[in-house]
Amino acid sequence: MKDIQQIIIHVLQNDVSEEEMAFFSEWFHSSSENKDLFFQLKDIYDHRKGGLMPDSEEMKASWNRLMNKLENNPQHIFQSTTIKNKRVKLNRWQAVAAIFAGLLIVGASLFYGRMKQNSVWVEVRTTSSDQVQLVQLPDGSTVQLNVSSFLKYPKRFTGKKRQVYLDGEAIFDVKNDGRSFEVQSDKQQIVVLGTQFNVMDYSVDAFAATTLIKGKIELKTFDASHTVKNRMVLTPKQQVLLDKNTGYITLREVNPDDILSWTTGTYSFEDVPLEQITGRLEKMFDVTIVIPDEKSRKEKYTGKFSSSQTIEEIIQIINFKGQFEYRFRNDTIVLQRR
């Protein structure tokens, strides 16, 4: 098993094994300090990833802010966690420096090859306990941001493109002002003029889903080196599912009402793999759900649940056939096939 610094780099790059992901999830959920640190490191990583992130000066400022926080709280360390009888306890300064150095190495070609930008960026972040948040963009477009999501956009759109960054799930209702509107997520880019669409692309997930409600969008998917892998134009009611590990995409027709139901606290799904459903539950309830059996993770389910239900009630619904033995341990739920 690699150390936690290397695993965090792999998580940020979305190039993480199942064993590493289990280790990361345990570390991530072991303390609020670990969660806060990861999101700060992710912010630094996002500053150097892709074409729309702020320039080197802003990245340097973010790094300095993080270092100042650590300097003012020298007692903080990476919280220890145990996996396979191995305990990991890391000095925060050393770990952050190692991660930052690793990100600079893997991202240098992208980071230094970009055009310098001088935009002031606005960041909106929701937690698992938040309600759906409505964000008004500078051009009059609106974004409904789901729980455990992150949106970044410039305070003022300048130039011929309007560009925003999303890590999570959101519904975009874009005004047509003659300029293209681009949404950059983990391994996707969506280009539109004026339309409504839903994007679910959490960087820690192995899958992404983009659904067009009305209008027309062009969707590009990227591999780990940020090279375009797929390019397609979607029409209303079409959804593209992206397997971020393989780059494989699936195009299907869906009911837009089911896709938009999360804005009212209802989550509808039809023929969706269990791992995708539990991935959503993890973000809603701030838990880790472990399904050791791969076949069970890939099994497809149809149904709906409400955000007003407890996680225990929802797990019982998933286990309506009694196919799992399940146990709760702090913030971790294990579904073991019988």
Quick: pLDDT tens for 150-194: 999 999 998 888 999 999 999 999 998 889 999 999 889 999 877
Q: Clarify whether residues 147 and 133 are in a common domain.
A: yes
| Stretch 73-90: mean pLDDT | 42
For residue 237, what is the domain's CATH number?
2.60.120.1440
Q: 3-state secondary structure string, the chain? A: CCCHHHHHHHHHCCCCCHHHHHHHHHHHHCCHHHHHHHHHHHHHHHHCCCCCCCCHHHHHHHHHHHHHHHHHCCCCECCCEEECCEEECCEHHHHHHHHHHHHHHHHHHHHCCCCCCCCCEEEEECCCCCCCEEEECCCCCEEEECCCCEEEEECCCCCCEEEEEEEEEEEEECCCCCCEEEEECCCEEEEECCCEEEEEECCCCCEEEEEEEECCEEEEEECCCCCEEEEEEECCCEEEEEECCCCCEEEEECCHHHHHHHHHCEEEEEEEEHHHHHHHHHHHHCCEEECCCHHHHHCEEEEEEECCCCHHHHHHHHCCCCCEEEEEECCEEEEEEC
For residue 67, is it within any domain? yes
For residue 116, is it within any domain? no
Q: Clarify whether residues 137 and 105 are in a common domain.
A: no
Of 111, 137, 165, the domain-final residue = 111
Tens digit of pLDDT for each residue in 106-139? 443 443 334 344 468 899 999 887 889 999 999 9
For residue 170, is it within any domain? yes
For residue 92, is it within any domain? yes
Q: Clarify whether residues 244 and 270 are in a common domain.
A: no
Structural domain range at position 223:
121-260
Q: Clarify whether residues 159 and 288 are in a common domain.
A: no
Rounded mean pLDDT of the chain? 78
Cβ-contact 334, 327 below 8 angstroms: yes
Q: Clarify whether residues 223 and 253 are in a common domain.
A: yes
Q: Please, which pLDDT band fits residue 33 given cuts at 50, 70 and 90?
A: confident
Q: Clarify whether residues 200 and 255 are in a common domain.
A: yes
For residue 89, is it within any domain? yes
Q: Clarify whether residues 226 and 147 are in a common domain.
A: yes
For residue 312, what is the domain's CATH number?
3.55.50.30
What was the pLDDT predicted at 38? 76
What was the pLDDT predicted at 100? 52
For residue 99, is it within any domain? yes
Q: Does residue 213 have a pLDDT over 90? A: yes
- Give Cα 278 distance to the centre of its chain: 14
Q: Clarify whether residues 183 and 250 are in a common domain.
A: yes
Of 111, 142, 177, the domain-final residue = 111
What was the pLDDT predicted at 201? 92
Cβ-contact 326, 317 below 8 angstroms: no
Q: Clarify whether residues 140 and 106 are in a common domain.
A: no
Q: Clarify whether residues 46 and 125 are in a common domain.
A: no
Of 85, 111, 137, the domain-final residue = 111
Q: Clarify whether residues 233 and 126 are in a common domain.
A: yes
For residue 294, is it within any domain? yes
Q: Clarify whether residues 242 and 127 are in a common domain.
A: yes
For the chain, the domain total comes to: 3
